[in-house]
A and B are shown apart, each in its own frame.
Chain A
Amino acid sequence: SQKIEQNSEALNIQEGKTATLTCNYTNYSPAYLQWYRQDPGRGPVFLLLIRENEKEKRKERLKVTFDTTLKQSLFHITASQPADSATYLCARPRGDDYKLSFGAGTTVTVRA
Chain B
Amino acid sequence: DAGVIQSPRHEVTEMGQEVTLRCKPISGHDYLFWYRQTMMRGLELLIYFNNNVPIDDSGMPEDRFSAKMPNASFSTLKIQPSEPRDSAVYFCASSPADSYEQYFGPGTRLTVT
Q: How far is it, in angstroms, between the C-alpha of A95 and the C-alpha of B45 when the chains are bound? A: 12
Interface: B107 (CB within 8 A)? yes
Name which residue of chain B comes closest to A101, CB basis: B45
Number of interface residues of A (CB under 8 A): 22
Interface: B93 (CB within 8 A)? yes
Is A102's CB under 8 angstroms from B95's CB?
Answer: no
Residues of chain B in range 77-113 having any CB-CB distance to chain A below 8 Å: 91, 93, 95, 100-107
Most chain B CB neighbours (cut-off 10 Å) among A34, A95, A100, A104:
A100
Q: How far is it, in angstroms, between the C-alpha of A93 and the C-alpha of B106 when the chains are bound? A: 22
Interface: B31 (CB within 8 A)? yes
Interface: A97 (CB within 8 A)? yes
The distance from the CB of B33 to the nearest CB of chain A, in whole angstroms, is 8
Is B45's CB under 8 angstroms from A100's CB?
Answer: yes
Category for how many chain B residues contact A: 20 to 34
Is A46's CB under 8 angstroms from B103's CB?
Answer: yes
* Inter-chain contacts of A28 with B (CB < 8 A): none
The distance from the CB of A89 to the nearest CB of chain B, in whole angstroms, is 7
- SS class of chain A's interface: helix, strand, loop or mixed? strand
Is A43's CB under 8 angstroms from B91's CB?
Answer: yes
* Inter-chain contacts of A96 with B (CB < 8 A): 56
The distance from the CB of B14 to the nearest CB of chain A, in whole angstroms, is 24
Interface residues, chain B, with chain A CB atoms under 8 Å away: 4, 31, 33, 42-45, 48, 50, 55-56, 91, 93, 95, 100-107
Q: Show 30 A/B contacts (Cβ-Cβ < 8 Å), sorted by A.
A: A34-B100, A34-B101, A34-B102, A41-B106, A43-B91, A43-B93, A43-B105, A43-B107, A44-B43, A44-B91, A44-B102, A44-B104, A45-B104, A46-B101, A46-B103, A49-B101, A96-B56, A98-B48, A98-B50, A98-B55, A98-B95, A98-B100, A99-B45, A99-B56, A100-B33, A100-B45, A102-B42, A102-B43, A103-B42, A104-B42
